[in-house]
Amino acid sequence: MSSLWNARVEEADGARIALRVVAVHPDAGDVPESAVFALRLLADGLDRAAGAPSAARRTDSLSAPGRAGEVVCDLSVTERRNFPFAERAARDSVEAVLRDRGLDPADTAAWRAAFDREWTALWYDPLRVPSAKLTVRLRDAEPVAPLKVGDRWDSAAVG
């Protein structure tokens, strides 16, 4: 499955962790305000935490079916930017840039290659794609202890 999100730890204070969540694919949609999504996102981060002791056990404790309500005390999604994502408008904007450069859509190969480069660049620009701050407070700090400010990872989390 393709990644939908890039997550970066902005704050880590015991059982409270704040993530900057940035869409990296147009199918990502809005950042879900859901404990299930938050736990899946955190589990992906723990899977990628380099050298984290007992990372598999921590991941299992977060992603066990039906555990979301037991593990998460509360969560919030704030600082939403570029929601909802207007994919058609973004595509039109990319095409306008290409026309301004003098590219002709009739030259299919050149147009497609240039469009793909610009579309990819859009998804690497956090100011142009959907993003939000997801703050999660867990009942226990131990499962997320390996995550540190600055850690980042990609995720296909849904929920």
H helices of 21-107, in order, are 35-48, 55-63, 68-71, 87-100
The reported pLDDT for the residue numbered 49 is: 73
Q: How far is residue 32's CA from residue 102's CA, in Å, rounded to a whole number?
A: 40
The reported pLDDT for the residue numbered 114 is: 95
The reported pLDDT for the residue numbered 1 is: 60
Amino acid making up residue 44: D
Q: How far is residue 80's CA from residue 13's CA, in Å, rounded to a whole number?
A: 22
The reported pLDDT for the residue numbered 57 is: 47
Q: How far is residue 128's CA from residue 143's CA, in Å, rounded to a whole number?
A: 33
CA 96 from centre of chain:
27
Domain boundaries, the chain: 1-81+130-159, 86-128
Mean pLDDT by 10 residues, the chain (159 residues): 89 94 89 91 83 49 66 93 88 94 94 94 87 94 91 90
Here the tokens at position 36 are 């299930």
Residue 70 CA: distances (Å) to CA of 17, 39, 89, 100:
17, 11, 41, 54
The reported pLDDT for the residue numbered 62 is: 60
Instruction: Give the DSSP H/E element, type plus range, for residue 79.
Output: strand 72-81
